[in-house]
Amino acid sequence: MFQMRRRVLRVLIVVLLLIIIAGGASAGGIWLWANHHFHIAEQALAHHRIAEAREHISLYLKIWPSSDEAHFIAARAARRALDFKEAEKQLKECRRLLGKSPQFALEEALMRVQQGEVDKVEAYFRREVERGNPDSTLILEAFVEGYLKLHRLPDASACLTLWEKQEQDNMYLYLLRGSIRERIPNVQEAADDYRKVLDLNPNYDEARLRLARLLLEAHECAEAQSHLLHLSNVRPGNAGVLVLLARCYLDLARPEDARQILSEVLSRDPRNQPALLVSAQLALQEGANERAESFLRQALAVDPYDREVNFLLSQCLLRQPGRQAEAEQQLAKFKGIENDWKALHEITTKKMGAAPHDPDLQYQVGVIWLRLGEEKAGIEWLRRALETDPKHEPSQKALAEYQRQRQVDSQRLAPDVSTGAVSGKMDLLPVPQ
């Protein structure tokens, strides 16, 4: 009996030891797994693979939620992905774990810079870059984004030049420079920048999509097609990619392939404006003017200020007998929109670079955006003009007129009690002189 008890006790001890050993091995395995994701996140962030960094640091935090280092990496990755709400959340957790830190203060400052708050801190950060601050490239990156938000292209370009001297293998540098060159526009050099991005990271889909779009604009359809087919494989069903591919097939004289893609996209989203535009181009190519007009009017219902749609509609009307007057009226509308875009380009790429704090220029940009239907951007610029000069009368009047028209608009949009009808759209503001 005694021997049996000893035997049972021995078995229990062995089982217990095995459980302890297994538990230790499991804990060690979990630690190694988590540590693996932490290091991948660090490397990905260092090479601007932001989505990858966020994915891996999120996995690490599920195992070690009290790691201040991990929360800081998560905050920086979110900020660089322009996810400011998440960045603030992660920085708040960092402060809870560690209290105040110069690193946290830097992240908060760069977050504001990225959103356009550059004036109060640009002198300080310029000195930091000149002194060789170890975070100089992050500082320059944030200022490029902030200047782009303010349409201060010369300042953004100057930061990129400094950045490139310090770091030649950052694909995001070339992505931002390509974005600036698109706005100038300098399409060929912008395309070269996007090719450089793909040389550094062939999996950077955003650069491939931008390059394909530029190639289509330059009618280099063979190269564009190869990029779009690649994207359609990695992003199956993506409407933006499919519409560009349809446009490519249209230029390659493959109308049936284009038609099949467009039908697929519009069956899922009948208000897809780019698909409606390319469908109209296909109809015009086939001489189906009435069908093209139908597509174009649907596209204008989605975006009344699209330049290409407005121009194509004027040409479509010209092709139809007895519609000369309508065509001329539509062409006049297109020219007004085109003139607004030219004025906006002139101010933001040339004049504002020489006088970034001129409230008159800020006011003009605001009013143009409002007239082009971009209310959020318009109001932001008018408010910026008033931050520069609180007594700037044209901006005060424009904002007051905007608010008045919003009230009128809300009354017009209110259902008519007798008929249940809804009507009206905000009137356009006058052209700035």
pLDDT of the residue at 422: 32
Selected residue with higher pLDDT from 169 and 33: 169
156: tokens are 């953004």
Using the Cα atoms of residue 111, residue 116, residue 117 and residue 122 in order, give the sign of their dihedral. positive
pLDDT over 90 (residue 207): yes
- pLDDT tens across 248-275, in order? 999 999 999 999 999 999 999 999 999 9
With cut-offs at 50, 70 and 90, classify the pLDDT of residue 429.
very low
Mean pLDDT estimate for the chain:
86
The span from the CA of 349 to the CA of 65, in Å, is 46
pLDDT over 70 (residue 160): yes
The span from the CA of 165 to the CA of 167, in Å, is 6
Which letter does DSSP use for residue 163 in this model?
H
Is 60 within 8 Å of 70 (Cβ atoms)? yes
33: tokens are 């797994």
The span from the CA of 368 to the CA of 338, in Å, is 11
Query: What would the mean pLDDT of 145-159 be, rounded to a whole number?
Result: 88
The least confident of 20-24, 242-246, 328-332 is: 20-24
The structure tokens 């793909």 sit at 198
pLDDT of the residue at 417: 36
pLDDT of the residue at 92: 93
- pLDDT tens across 340-368, in order? 999 998 998 888 878 888 999 999 999 99
Terminal-residue alpha carbon distance, the chain? 108
The span from the CA of 304 to the CA of 370, in Å, is 13
Which letter does DSSP use for residue 350 in this model?
I
Query: What would the mean pLDDT of 278-293 be, rounded to a whole number?
Result: 95
Is 248 within 8 Å of 281 (Cβ atoms)? no
pLDDT over 70 (residue 59): yes
pLDDT of the residue at 413: 54
CA dihedral (312, 315, 320, 326) in degrees, to 10, reads: 90
pLDDT of the residue at 8: 46
pLDDT over 50 (residue 150): yes
Residue 15 CA, distance from chain mean position = 58
DSSP string, 399-428: HHHHHHHHHHHHHHHSPPTTT------PPP
Q: Return all residues near 159 (Cβ < 8 A) that are at least 6 apart.
A: 140, 143, 144, 147
pLDDT over 90 (residue 173): yes
pLDDT over 50 (residue 428): no
- pLDDT tens across 95-113, in order? 999 888 888 999 999 999 9
